[in-house]
Amino acid sequence: MTEYESVPSAVDDETEIPTDHPRYQDLLTRHRIEAGVEKGITHLQGMHAEGRGSAFDYLLGEETIPSADDAERAAAAQLLLADHPVISVNGNVAALVPGEVVDLASTVNAAIEINLFNRTPERMERIADHLRDHGAEDVLGLDADARIPELDHERSKVDAEGIYEADVVVVPLEDGDRAEALSEMGKTEIVVDLNPLSRSPQVAAIPIVDNIIRAFPNTTEHARALADADDATLREIVDSFDRAEALAAAEDRIRSGDLAGE
């Protein structure tokens, strides 16, 4: 039988990607996903997910549009108001923004929980180690001692003291049925997805239509700016955010073909 070797990439390390390349952000995310697959963190299907996202990012002009910035500020306020916020991490999130997950979690005092569609003990351990290498102290998801009701795949496996108990859950990069099941459990969801028509942003209290490599650092920056705000101010920011308007603005931008900077 013929054995095939994968074709070596022209770039071994992301520092080799020229920052002035017109598609720099796309090359960077592609490279991180590829590296994640090689490390056994990201599932091969994660490349497909990345391709879906990058097509929408291209149409958004690869920038944080104003409605996404509003959503990121509302998300920061919502996380600061939460009693028990949890950031859910899959193989793509771990590969793309491990340090940014840890930064956001420590800024808003959230737990980090791994939740995988293609769950194997090896991937769970590798992702937990990867997050710890980026500064995470506690990583949840490995116990999986609770279940999200009405969901019969691996994503239903959660920690009792994590997502199961959470009041606010950040759900990035998954177009699926878990977001709906979580909202039926009464959780407030913050979803990051470049496709405003995906199932998850459609049911989120706060849909963020932005690339996670921009969305997480920007949400953290908003959270730092709001750190001293009182609850009434934070509540006002959350209440004045209009989820339908944010989804419509993103869809408009994608459909209009108004490619700023192209």
Q: Which of residues 227-246 bind ligand PTJ (CB under 6 A)?
A: none
> In the bound complex, what is the minimum distance in angstroms from residue 180's beta carbon to ligand PTJ?
14
Quick check: 216 binds ligand PTJ (CB under 6 A)?
no
Q: What is the DSSP string of 149-188?
A: TT--SGGGEE-TTTTTT-SEEEEES--SSHHHHHHHTT-E
> In the bound complex, what is the minimum distance in angstroms from residue 40's beta carbon to ligand PTJ?
11
Quick check: 52 binds ligand PTJ (CB under 6 A)?
yes
* Residue among 74 and 179 whose Cβ is closer to ligand PTJ: 179
> In the bound complex, what is the minimum distance in angstroms from residue 262's beta carbon to ligand PTJ?
19
* Residue among 48 and 224 whose Cβ is closer to ligand PTJ: 48
Residue 30, marked binder: yes
**From residue 9 to residue 48, what is the string marking binding to ligand PTJ with x (rule CB under 6 A)?**
--------------------x-------------x-xx-x
Q: Which of residues 174-203 bind ligand PTJ (CB under 6 A)?
A: 174-176, 192-195, 198
Judge whether 97 and 87 are in contact, CB under 8 Å.
no
Copy the structure tokens of residue 29: 């995310």
Copy the structure tokens of residue 197: 């028509």
* Alpha helix ranges (H) inside 3-97: 24-38, 45-60, 66-81, 91-96
- Residue from 108, 112, 128, 173 touching ligand PTJ (CB under 6 A): that is 173
Q: How many Å separate Cα 261 from the centre of its chain?
A: 25
Residue 200, marked binder: yes
Q: What are phi and psi of 213, to 5 degrees?
A: -70, -20
Distance CA 1, CA 108 (A): 54
Distance CA 68, CA 55 (A): 17
Judge whether 169 and 185 are in contact, CB under 8 Å.
no
Quick check: 116 binds ligand PTJ (CB under 6 A)?
yes
Q: Where does this chain bind ligand PTJ (CB under 6 A)?
A: 29, 43, 45-46, 48-50, 52-53, 56, 90-92, 96, 116-118, 173-176, 192-195, 198, 211-212
Annotated binding-site positions for ATP: 30, 52, 193-195, 199-200, 211-212
